[in-house]
Amino acid sequence: MNEIKKIDKEMDQFVVIGLGRFGKSVALTLASLGKEVLVLDTHPDAIKQIENQVSSAVVCDSTATDVLHSLGVQNFDCVINCIGEDMQASILTTLICKELGVKYIVAKAQTEQHKKVLEKIGADMVVFPETYMGRKVASTLANPSQNVILSLTADFKIVEMATPDIWVDRSLGDMNIRNKYKITIIFIKRENEIISPEQSTVILKGDTLIVAGETSKINALSNKTKDVLDAHQSLKDALDE
C-alpha cells in the first residue's frame, strides 16, 4: 500500500467483487461487523458458499458496465475489487467503478505494474494481501514475545508484548518507564481484565502489555523478556484476519 485516499466518514455499504480467499474473508468480516454487503462473482458456487451470510449476492460479470450500473454499485460507500489473477478483469472492473462515480474503490494487485495501473485509473487504495500477511507471519515468528498490532510508520509501532522480567512487581511510576525506556504503556491485559495504567499501577508476572513507541526501543525491551506470547495464537489470529 502507499498513497491511500483518506476515508472521511464511517462506511456502511460495501460491494465485494470476486470471492477468492481474500474477497470472501473481506465480505464475511464486513458482514460480521453489521455492514451491508453485496457480493458479486461470475461463479455460482462461490456465490452459493456465502449468500446466506451477506445482505445480497449476485452471479454476474463485473466487466459489464450496464450490470454494475443496474445493481447500483455507484450508490454504495465503497467497492472492494478482489479479482487478482485475471488482470484485465481487475483493471476493467476498477475503471467501470470509477466511471460510475463510486466514492471509494479498494483494489487488490498481483504485481507492482498491476498496482501502478490501478492507481493510475483511480483506485483509492491498492492492497497486496500476500505481502501484508507475509510480513505479519515473519514478524510473529522472528519476535514471538511481541505481536505487532499496528505499524504506524517504519519506525513507530503499537505491539502486544509479554512483560519483561525486570518489571515484575514494580509500579510504572517507580520505574519511570516513559523517560527511561521511551515507550508508552497504553493498556495492561491481566487475565480477562483490561487495565488503563496509572503511575501507581504495579505490573505482575503474566501481564501482557499494549505498548506504543519506536520500533528500536520496543525491540530492545522485548529482548529482555523470557516469556513469549502465544505465537501460535497470534499467527492463527493473523491468518484468520
> Which residues of this protein are in contact with ligand ATP, per CB under 6 A?
17-23, 40-43, 46, 61-63, 83-86, 89
- Which of residues 17 and 177 has its CB atom nearest to ligand ATP in the complex? 17
Shortest separation between residue 75's beta carbon and ligand ATP, angstroms: 19
Taking CB atoms within 8 Å and a gap of at least 24, the contacts of 146-154 are 146/218, 146/219, 146/222, 146/229, 147/229, 147/234, 149/210, 154/215
Asked whether the beta carbons of 64 and 86 are under 8 A apart, the reply is: no
C-alpha cell of residue 6: 483518506
Our CB check for ligand ATP shows the closer of 32 and 111 to be: 111
For residue 196 the three cell numbers come to: 488503563
What is d(CA 108, CA 39) in angstroms, rounded to the nearest whole number? 15
Measured between alpha carbons, how far is 69 from 102 in angstroms, rounded to an integer?
10
57 vs 185, beta carbon nearer ligand ATP? 57
- Is the CB of 86 or the CB of 160 nearer to ligand ATP? 86
CB of 53 to ligand ATP, least distance (A): 16
> 18: part of which helix (H) or strand (E)?
none
Query: What is the closest distance, in whole angstroms, from the C-beta atom of residue 234 to ligand ATP in the complex?
Result: 22
